[in-house]
A and B are shown apart, each in its own frame.
Chain A
Amino acid sequence: MRILVVEDNEDLLRSIVRFLKKEGFTVDESTDGDEGLDLALDNHYDCIVLDIMLPGVDGFEFVQTLRESQIETPVLMLTALDAVDDKVKGLSSGADDYLTKPFDFRELLARIKSLIRRHNLTKGEEIVFKDLKLNSRSRQATVRDELIRLSKKEFDLLETLLRNPGITFSRDELIERVWENEKEIRSNVVDVYVLYLRNKLKPYGYDKYIETVPGLGYRFHKG
């Protein structure tokens, strides 16, 4: 697996690179936005770890140029907990993720692995059910080309159910799939999200396909 790390704080960059190499990744590095972008455009990477504030092009322009060049490599943004946070949040509601500096390396690793896994799993794939389309790459849901604004978790939940029609998922199973490394969660959070999802699908009449199976969980019922 090949990773590009672009970070202008050289000390931090050295540690990240050293850590990722130790974890078995092949790592390219750069301290400059322009140089990093050249690397990203010329090579294939499985994931890019990108600081936002960079000399040369900044993180936002970096990603934009990348996407305009049809390069769909997942990007993990590193932010510094300031006003750009909100902007990042908006941006990362799609496929990409962000991490606030200083971060735990365990967290960094988990996020990178999750991004790569998801990316490989869903390369440009589209799930279609009647007029409802889910694009796993852009993480957008549409009905007759009209965008349904789903949050990350809502999308994951719908995707999980829609990929396995007719199969009943227990709440624990859904937590395991949608919340990934938060397996121990004990809460009615699944019910809350199912409710949200149904609410958002309701205007298009698709809420009725998400069925509650009493005592067991939820399933997507085609027809």
Chain B
Amino acid sequence: MIKMKSLRQAIQRYYLSIFILSMCAMAVTFLITVERLTMKQIDQELLSFTNDLVHFLENPSGELVAIFGKKDYSFQVFEKDKTLASFNIKEQIPVDHTGFTFINYKRVYATRAGTYKVTVAKDIKDHLVTMAILATVLATVIVALTFIVHRFGLKLTERMIKPIEEIGKQMDDVSKGYAKHIEIEPTSQEAERLQLQINDAIKRLHSTMEELREFASSLSHQLRNPLASVKAQIEVMLKETDDEELRNELTTMLKNINTMVQITSSLLLIARAQHQREETFQEEDISVTLLESVEQVMQRFPKIDFILDVPAQIKARCVPGLLSHAFINLIENACKYSQEDKPVKVSLSKSKNFVVFVVSNHGEPIADEEKEKIFERFYRSRNAKADGLGLGLAVVKAIADLHRAKIEYEYNGKNTFYMYIPT
């Protein structure tokens, strides 16, 4: 699976970057505009000052150039490379070009008027400082706004995402069978509608599943009566005939009927396990249930040696009629795959929250890639025995799920199945 980014992060990242970018763009535009306007004004002033100067130079008898109160102004006038006049200027301002330029925090304007070269400059340090302050203020405002928007956005995203996360969590419970519908605190109309729609879908799925289960259950059930009579009829016929060939045919038929019986039994058990309600659980002596199960298997495997470690009166809430089938199937499997002359060990113990059922045998370990699959319906392992149907462990799984019991498999020199039944 591709690792997806969280929606929450994506949304936050998205709106934050858009917000910051637009704020910065606005601030920069603003600064540039202010700069442009100010420079235009300064240039205007420089031009008019230059005009005054030139006018004075050309008509010395004319008015005086008013330079009082303009201490940030400076000028130099040359005539044929000789300084004719200078004001408030320390360094030589080169005038090999004409027009506007910047030199040392000064806006400089140079022009020629007849034989004169006039250079006028205005100190713009103050202006630069003002601009810098303005920029800082703007940046601070942006940061502050971003923070506020982020906090607000967090809340908004939370409102948007929370129902989705909550629905996800609850759907998990639904798919595990612990819940039949979802119930969230709807933070928006959309979330409320989503919840309604999901609950509707779950309801429909449930009823479809229920119909399917009922179908499987009643089909198995309905099949069992005719199967029972066919089986009975074959057995009577076997009893009555001495014809060897016919007997062989009948025996094969009986074997096939028995397979069908086993399939219907397993499907019925699975259907029952999925159908059963927890209210029908009873506090039961599992020790007795287990021993009775062991005895049933003993009859079928008279050659196997059983080692039992089953203390008396271990109790748990369960459906004994179903739990016994899980025990039987697991123990039967252990017998089927056991090496000859090696014992099958069955034990039951009680821990704080669980009753632990363990069955182990000496046999080939189950391959890693098969461990998950062995609990699937009709799955047949590569070294499965011929008479298996691949339903035994599926029955175990269904019954374990009903009891919220965990099943584990481990190979520790022996094939070992554990079942943890919560008490």
Identify the A interface with B (CB < 8 A).
Answer: 9, 11-12, 15-16, 18-19, 22, 80-83, 85-86, 89, 101-105, 151, 153, 179, 181-182, 184-189, 192-193, 195-196, 199-200
Chain A, residue nearest B298 (CB): A185
Find B235's partner among A80, A105, A192 (CB 8 Å cutoff): A105
Find A105's partner among B232, B268, B311, B313 (CB 8 Å cutoff): B232
Report B-chain residues with C-beta under 8 Å of the C-beta of A181: 299
From residue B133, how far is it (CB to closest CB) to chain A in Å?
Answer: 85
C-alpha spacing A80/B235, complex, angstroms: 19
Report A-chain residues with C-beta under 8 Å of the C-beta of B292: 151, 153
Q: B207-233 interface mask toward A, CB cutoff 8 Å, 1 = contact, 0 = none?
A: 000000000000001001111110111
Chain B, residue nearest A105 (CB): B235
Find B295's partner among A19, A86, A179, A184 (CB 8 Å cutoff): A179
Q: Does B195 contact A (CB under 8 A)?
A: no
**B-side binding surface: helix, strand, loop or mixed?**
helix
Report B-chain residues with C-beta under 8 Å of the C-beta of A80: 221, 224-225
Chain A, residue nearest B321 (CB): A86
In the complex, 13 of the A-B residue pairs with CB atoms within 8 angstroms, ordered by the A residue number, are: A11-B226, A15-B235, A22-B236, A22-B240, A81-B224, A151-B291, A151-B292, A153-B295, A184-B302, A189-B295, A189-B308, A192-B310, A199-B313
Report B-chain residues with C-beta under 8 Å of the C-beta of A101: 224-225, 228
C-alpha spacing A81/B243, complex, angstroms: 35
Interface size class of B (residues with CB under 8 A): 35 or more
C-alpha spacing A57/B329, complex, angstroms: 35
CB–CB A199/B312 < 8 A: yes
From residue B49, how far is it (CB to closest CB) to chain A in Å?
Answer: 108
CB–CB B229/A182 < 8 A: no
Q: B304-327 interface mask toward A, CB cutoff 8 Å, 1 = contact, 0 = none?
A: 111110111100000111000000
Report B-chain residues with C-beta under 8 Å of the C-beta of A199: 312-313
With contacts A9-B225, A85-B321, A86-B319 known, is A102 near B295, CB below 8 A? no
Q: Does B377 contact A (CB under 8 A)?
A: no
16 new A-B contacts at CB < 8 Å, known A12-B229, A103-B228: A11-B232, A12-B232, A80-B224, A81-B268, A82-B272, A83-B272, A89-B320, A102-B227, A151-B288, A151-B292, A153-B295, A181-B299, A182-B302, A186-B305, A187-B298, A189-B294
Report B-chain residues with C-beta under 8 Å of the C-beta of A82: 221, 268, 272
Report B-chain residues with C-beta under 8 Å of the C-beta of A15: 229, 232-233, 235-236
Q: Does B176 contact A (CB under 8 A)?
A: no
List B253-312 residues whose CB lies under 8 Å from chain A.
257, 261, 265, 268-269, 272, 287-288, 291-292, 294-295, 298-299, 302-308, 310-312
Chain A, residue nearest B296 (CB): A182
CB–CB A188/B291 < 8 A: no
Report A-chain residues with C-beta under 8 Å of the C-beta of B269: 81
CB–CB B225/A186 < 8 A: no
A-B pairs, 4 with minimum CB distance: A15-B232, A11-B229, A184-B302, A187-B306
CB–CB A9/B228 < 8 A: yes
Find B239's partner among A22, A189, A192 (CB 8 Å cutoff): A22
From residue A31, how far is it (CB to closest CB) to chain B in Å?
Answer: 13
CB–CB B302/A188 < 8 A: no
